[in-house]
Chain A
Amino acid sequence: MTELLSANFMRLWKNNTFWGSLGVCVGLGALAALGEFRFQVGMGADLSLPEVAQAKALLEGQFFEYAAFIGILAAEFISLFIGTEYSDGAIRNKIVVGRSRLSIYFANLITGFAASLLCMAGYMLSCLAVGAPLLGWFTKPAPLLLWAIAGSVVMLAAFCAIFTFASMNCSKKSTSAVICLLGVFVLLFAAVYLNARLEAPEFISGYELSVGGEISQAVPEPNPHYLTGLEREVYQFLYDLLPTGQSVQYTTLGFTDPAKLMGLSALVAAVFSAAGAALFRRKDLK
């Protein structure tokens, strides 16, 4: 497999999509920090005072933004990188000379993951380089930040496993690109929906308008959409299981059990990789 990885990384080095994606991430990281700084200054915040910057945890707010879009970027990159192997027919050169299908599959998975990870690192480093001098250093506890970084790396592995599964088993580059991009947006909407259901308040307190025109707060009533019992557990499980659900949690640092999230991501990555490799082994190539 080392030969295949060496070939893949050589192609990655010369791949415009990769450099474009990395450039976008680096640019977004810097822009996120700069934009937050301009916004805070516009709002009249004096960021030269360390206590102001610390109280707002501004750097964290921008630093983990990558978790929100890294899945979309991985979908685009992996589907195009692997799709090119099919559209140019070059995947045949590997099989004809006796490279095993398993090693081809996993070499592509590792390459896609490494490229996505580099893009993620590009965002983090540029956000840190621009954000730290302008917004101040991190204020949240270091273990929380490290869990978020480690967790998002495993989440990225799950994303890559899903997109590699789709791209390696679809012989058309354009189709696999559409499937991956459409898939990631469907998963994102699903995560947003799950989040909205889980975040729904238990009670709704409306306002009453009296005949005299006075507005008063009504007695809170139970929210019929509030999830309870097993239903809530299922929604929470799905929210934790979906890489897009995790991406929302890492972006907002709103996770409670990072080890569980990492375990679920590892499970998703393992299941999709095993299923994808098994399908690819039996796939008829043209």
Chain B
Amino acid sequence: MDYVLVTQGLSKRYKDFKALDSLTMHVPKGSIYGFVGRNGAGKTTLIRLICGLQSPTGGSYALYGVDSAQKDIAKVRRRIGAVVETPSIYLDLTAQDNLKEQFRVLGVPSDEGVGELLKLVGLEDTGKKKARNFSLGMKQRLGIAVALAGDPDFLVLDEPVNGLDPQGIIDIRELILKLNRERRITVLISSHILDELSRLATHYGFIDSGRMVKELSARELEAACRKCLRIEVTDTRALARVLDGMGVEYKILDDGKADVFAQVNISQLSKALDNQGCELLSAQERDESLESYFVNLVGGGSHD
């Protein structure tokens, strides 16, 4: 699999505080990678590092296969667009002037693409209105437009829907999906709004206390969160024979546990297992949401 971003043991320490602790992460090309973690988990720190705003105190990262220690990393950054925390826009300039400004920073010879970008983010009618007078959603969309000015292959968005109203959230979601599907842009989104993320992400990375707890695809997560019956038995081989006989879908987790993805009659199952010389120890119905999956993964400790 091709990866846009790979981090290896990436660490960042601020005096006595470890913001990132040997973080390892893989963002596949073409994905929408949901970077999930509670406040202060290290999401923004990672984004600051990969955007070159800060230097790691340990480990390394590679963008498009180019290691962060190499000189060419500056050239590779040309392929990135990012909105870190708040949208980076000049408040005393119009939307158009903000884009022209970024075109100059990038060395784009003509301002021809400005209109198209404004249309893409739905700000084509803002005219001479200064960014200072924009709503939060408009500022966020302008920030994304500025990030898109260099026609990037990799877009990094830090909490893009924070503080937005429902319509603003929908607008940003649709924009991200459009960019990913139509322009094949890989998107890394950090968020703690899990419900919103679950509508977008194709891959997930769960971070806690600066460490990557788990990385998985949306399909894997869906399977993990699928409604099922978790069964504990003394012999999973016997269980497999019984379940095969019943024609139901299941997944063996270890020597004593399995998830069954069907409604089964417990009495019949217990009797069938007994005939195979296997004991049914427990049966528990599981129906995990992304939220409960996250809580189970990182624990329900105190938040910042």
Flag whether A44 is at the interface (Cβ < 8 A). Answer: no
- Which among B69-77, B171-179, B199-207, B212-220 touches the partner chain? B69-77
Complex: chain B residue closest to A94, CB-CB: B105
Q: Is the interface of A mostly helix, strand, loop or mixed?
A: helix
Q: Which of A87-127 contact B (CB under 8 A)?
A: 88-100
Flag whether A6 is at the interface (Cβ < 8 A). Answer: yes
**Complex CA distance for A90 and B104, rounded to whole angstroms:** 13
Q: Are A284 and B80 touching (Cβ within 8 A)?
A: no
Given known contacts A7-B105, A95-B52, A90 and B90 CB-to-CB distance under 8 angstroms: yes
Q: Are B104 and A285 touching (Cβ within 8 A)?
A: no
Q: Which of A73-90 contact B (CB under 8 A)?
A: 84, 88-90
**Complex CA distance for A91 and B86, rounded to whole angstroms:** 12
Instruction: Report which of B80, B87, B89 forms a contact with A96, defined as CB distance below 8 A.
Output: B80
Q: Are B54 and A285 touching (Cβ within 8 A)?
A: yes
Instruction: Report which of A4, A89, A94, A98 forms a contact with B87, defined as CB distance below 8 A.
Output: A89
A88 contacts which chain B residues (CB < 8 A)? Answer: 88-91
- Which among A10-18, A247-255, A264-272 touches the partner chain? A10-18
Flag whether B285 is at the interface (Cβ < 8 A). Answer: no
Flag whether A3 is at the interface (Cβ < 8 A). Answer: yes
**Nearest-CB distance from A82 to chain B (Å)?**
13
Produce 1/0 per residue, A14-40, CB < 8 A to B.
111000000000000000000000000
Q: Are B104 and A6 touching (Cβ within 8 A)?
A: yes
11 contacts between A and B (CB under 8 A): A10-B101, A88-B90, A89-B89, A90-B88, A93-B102, A96-B53, A97-B105, A98-B74, A98-B80, A100-B74, A286-B84
Of all A-B residue pairs in the complex, the 6 with the closest CB atoms, nearest first, are A98-B77, A7-B104, A89-B88, A3-B107, A98-B74, A285-B53
* Further contacts, 14 of them, CB under 8 A, given A90-B88, A98-B75, A98-B77: A3-B104, A7-B101, A7-B102, A11-B93, A84-B90, A88-B89, A88-B91, A89-B88, A90-B101, A91-B88, A96-B80, A97-B77, A97-B106, A282-B55
